[in-house]
Structure 1
Amino acid sequence: MARSRRDKDVSLTKVKKKTRETKEKLVEQVHQSVDSYKRLFVFSMENLRSNRFIAIRQQFKNSSRFFFGKTSVLAIALGREKATEYAEQLHKVAQTLKGQCGLIFTNDSKSQMMEFFENLSESDYARAGDIAPISLTLPEGPLPQFAFSMEPQLRKLGMPTKLDKGIITLIEEFTVCTEGEPISVEQAKILKLLERKLSEFRVKLACHWSKKSGFEDLA
């Protein structure tokens, strides 16, 4: 009798025992999810915030299951090639797993999922290492939004300031950040003090797979 595709062994060689057991468990969980859910999406996140991700998982806890990170193991679980794929066309899904991304297994409809994530957008303060989406320059002059006691803190962050009659004042034009360049620790702190939220948390769906229709590229 022909061997079922689902009975195929998954190779996880050259790993320590504990690590191997963890990876084998993840592979098994992915296989169980393929069997249990109607569809899956590959997703990636821009400006990842763990609290936002946890909130999304909580919102979908009754209908979906999320796997994030360990993309090489997720790809092995799905099957990187047609000969090793766990279900029809899953190797195409595995080939999209690049960079920081993950899988969403769900019983919700494709339209529900796409509408939710298309409308999901939350502004937040940029962190060190984020790429500045705009250039922000402050003109020479007073900064009345800050209490005079903050002047040493602003100066320590690199802002050319002085106290003028009890008001913090920039003694020359100051560039907080430059579009396309990484934001430093000091710049991130200044942006937060200025209450400028330059970071936007978003989730992008790269592809869709279902048991009925197979693979679909959404990029």
Structure 2
Amino acid sequence: MPKSKRSKLVSLTKVAKKTKEQKGAMIKELQDNAEKWKYCWLFQVGSMRNAHLKTVRKLWKDTARIFFGRSAVMAKALGTTPEEEHRLGLHQLAKQIQGQIGVLFTDTEPGEVIEWFADFQQPDFARTGNLASRTVTLPAGPVMRTHSDPPEPFPHNEEPQLRKLGLSTYMNKGVPSLHNPHELCKKGKPLTTEQAQLLKLIGEKMVVFRVSLICRWTAATGEVVQIENQPQLDSAATGGDDPEDEEMDEE
């Protein structure tokens, strides 16, 4: 008798782990770059999106090397104590690598780096748990998709989804509509899953991907300088992108 497919066991524990060889290669890569470049920066990201981080990498491809991997591996590569540091002063940098921190090696002068990252911003849709940056109220009448130019109403076949997400809609000449204004979200309040999905459907971008510089190490002197007056990052949210692992520095 053939074995029933229903009784088949599927393992959920087979997750590929980084080998010692891969971690060793990552450590060597970081140390080689510490020997090559004039400056090493630490940065953190607000509203993490891998696509936007790849854009940063692409724009800096010819003038920098970016690592965004496991903090423990990167800190070990640079050395967290004066005795272990790979180059003079790097331990002051390494001890600040905790959580989602990236490393940027470059020869570009500090003023230019600070100015570039201050200007780089990418609006994006909020995720569950983000704080609403503004109050959004949908007016009575047709429910509109604001990302269209000009804005256009939702098609009739999306009305069930709008109702499922909390809108008390009705059909008016084949268009999902509201009898009364509906406060979709309130400024400063955490977004629910339904609110975040509705904001995305109507085209309201509430968060901004941006990079905040933490500190800079200078190879010539071993000095580490903390970077002040950096932009405040959007609060963390559940369901956001996990930063890509050590492979972020490929190419």
In 1, Cα distance between equivalents of 2:28 and 2:200: 44
* Correspondence for 2:100: 100
User: Partner residue of 2:224?
Assistant: 215
Displaced runs of 4+ in structure 1, greater than 6 A? none
Inter-partner Cα distance in structure 2 for 1:148 and 1:124? 24
Query: Which residue of structure 2 aligns with residue 189 of structure 1?
Result: 197
**2:137·2:185 contact (CA, 8 Å) conserved in 1?**
yes
Over 3 Å counting, the alpha-carbon distance change for 1:100 and 1:18 in structure 2 is closer
Amino acid at match of 1:185: T
Which residue does the alignment assign to 1:202? 210
| Same amino acid, percent of matched pairs | 33
State whether residues 137 and 176 of structure 1, in contact with CA within 8 Å, keep that contact through their aligned partners in structure 2.
yes
Point out which structure has higher relative CO (alpha carbons under 8 A, 6+ apart).
Answer: 2
Aligned to 1:151: 159
Q: Is the Cα contact below 8 Å between 1:133 and 1:198 reproduced in 2?
A: yes
Pairwise CA distance, 1:165 = 5.2
DSSP-derived class of the 1:80 partner: coil
Gaps of 5+ in 1: 1-16
1:142–1:167: 8 Å Cα contact kept in structure 2?
Answer: no
Once the two structures are superposed, residues 70-117 of structure 1 have per-residue CA deviations (whole angstroms, 9 ceiling, x without a partner) of: 011111111111121111111110121122111001111111111100
The one-letter code of the counterpart of 2:225 is: E
Residues in 2 aligned to 1:114 and 1:129: alpha-carbon distance in whole angstroms: 29
SS state of the match for residue 75, structure 1? helix
The answer to whether the aligner puts 1:118 opposite 2:118 as a matched pair is: yes
Compared CA separation, residues 177 and 30, structure 1 to 2 (3 A): same
CA change 1:92–1:143 in 2 (3 A) is: same
Which residue number corresponds to residue 82 of structure 1?
Answer: 82
Is 1:39–1:208's contact at 8 Å kept on the other side of the alignment?
yes
Distance 1:49 1:23, change over 3 A: same
Over the aligned positions, Cα root-mean-square deviation in angstroms equals 2.1
Q: TM-score, normalised by structure 2?
A: 0.73
How many residues end up aligned between the 2 structures?
Answer: 202
Aligned match of 1:3: none
| In structure 2, distance between residues paired with 1:143 and 1:18 | 52
Structure 1: how far apart are the matches of 2:193 and 2:64?
37
Distance 1:128 1:144, change over 3 A: closer
Aligned 8 A contact 1:148 1:163 in 2: no
Distance 1:133 1:108, change over 3 A: same
Counterpart residue type for residue 193 of structure 1? L
CA distance in 2, matches of 1:161, 1:18: 50
Aligned mates of 1:18, 1:71 — CA distance in 2: 14
Listed as ranges, the matches of 1:1-219 within 5 Å are 19-139=19-139, 141-143=140-142, 145=144, 146-147=153-154, 149=156, 150-164=158-172, 166-213=174-221, 214-219=223-228
